[in-house]
A and B are shown apart, each in its own frame.
Chain A
Amino acid sequence: MSALIASAFAPVFAMIALGWLVRASGLMDRTLWSGVNALNHRVLLPAFLFVMITRADLSGDHVGELALASTSGSLIMIALGLAAGRALGLKPAETAALTAVAALWNLVLTMALAERLFGPDITGAAVVLPGVVLGAGAAVAGFAASQGAGPRAALQRIVRDPVLIACAAGMAANLAGLARLPFLLTPLELTAAGTMAVILLAMGAGLDFAALKGRLRALAAAALLRTLIAPAIYLGLALAFGLRGESAALLALAGGAPAAAVTYAFAADFRSEPGLVAGMITLTVLTSALALPLVTALALMI
């Protein structure tokens, strides 16, 4: 099993390292990556989610349990993020960052690992959909509130977000049975095929080690919540909902994944401490690289 886990994890984290190397070596500086990031957020990630959700078999095994476990996980992590912010006496913007990082996990990395561990047929729609909608909703609402922007501003940002639009459109397409129309889906499938690699490379390019200086308490709390507490909670939920094997591992991967890169874009939009968020993302990539293989091995054992 350790060989399987090494063969799944090493290339995925190596891609992140490669992206960092391409940027740090000066082969592609930060300004050039902004085009790649725009494409990621507006095209590749929405195409990936749309195809996955449209194709998902919503009547398959354990879909209901997975969705419930994922939903509960997001809600618990939102509550823990808020509570930790209060307990540590953080400023509102810092608490918003902590909550967003605790609740919104990196779904592309999760699905890339799941695909390498369990093959291309694994569908994570039931886990991904509640995670994205609740996590992104909480992140945007938190950043908006911390900057005194009202719920209307948050709602406007949410309904215009390409990733959330793609989730809604994918759900509608699934219910309408559009998966049967190959002419519609094949170009999007080809587009989506590039998503994992490009997003992982861009994640690496976005790593910001300078942002790790200072504010140790907020950073440490984020790493602790994202890398240790979240996987424990998601594994507990898997047990509680009677999920085993691949389903349990999928939840564990979601629980222990680094923070989603898109969190930075949300924070930047509301000018709510993007530097701190960049530091939290960078730190959780590092801590997840260490902890996630162990968490996955544990999930496969139960």
Chain B
Amino acid sequence: MRLFQLYPLGDAAVTVQFGDSIDEDTHAKVRTFSAYLERHPFPGLVEQVPAFSTVTIYYDPWVLSEQGLYNPYTRVTEQLQNMLKLAKKSQKTASPRVVEIPVCYNGSFGPDLEYVARHTKLTPQEVIASHSRGKYLVYMIGFAPGFPYLGGMSKKLATPRKQHPRANIPAGTVGIAGNQTGIYPIETPGGWQLIGRTPLRLFDPDREQPSLLQAGDLVKFVPISEEEFWQRKEKAHGA
């Protein structure tokens, strides 16, 4: 496969694809280009969305066409190809930010911890140790505001989703679904196996960066006590 492919996503967006698998090398290219775009926005760029193997660029064809003078798709792809070269040359891949997420793996916060332990033939303590040992790459934010798609969970912890989804999962809940782990940023229904909860707010519309996590970050889970959970929660949510 070539270095990258460009294809239109309709008449107002274009996707740059850097690979066709979910792996850290492909995602490093995604991160490099996404960061370059962030530093070098061009007229008509609306926004960009990095994902597992792609960066999608939303643009305004009216602006790119300079009020109807030029073909906007030709214009935007020329622009992007140029930027792809420059991004590669600059090689300014900053080392990823490591974000520590405190998690209380206590019974009431992790009602499925016992189930996951039985399923994986581990003790609950071993599940916690394994889950909080790894570093997890944030491949993409999607599905819900601030929801991280995390890679890197130990295969030993893989547990299928629940047969019957729960109607309400509180914000901050940490769960496992298949070979993925994730954190619910807002209260939603869902079928994940719930193993703990973080006192941090993953999504806050009043923050300058509403999502705590960004694509390309590394997440480290840090076990905390229930007492510490309530202290940190009070702090995170203000007085």
> Does A associate with B in a complex?
no
Q: B: which residues have CB within 8 A of A?
A: none
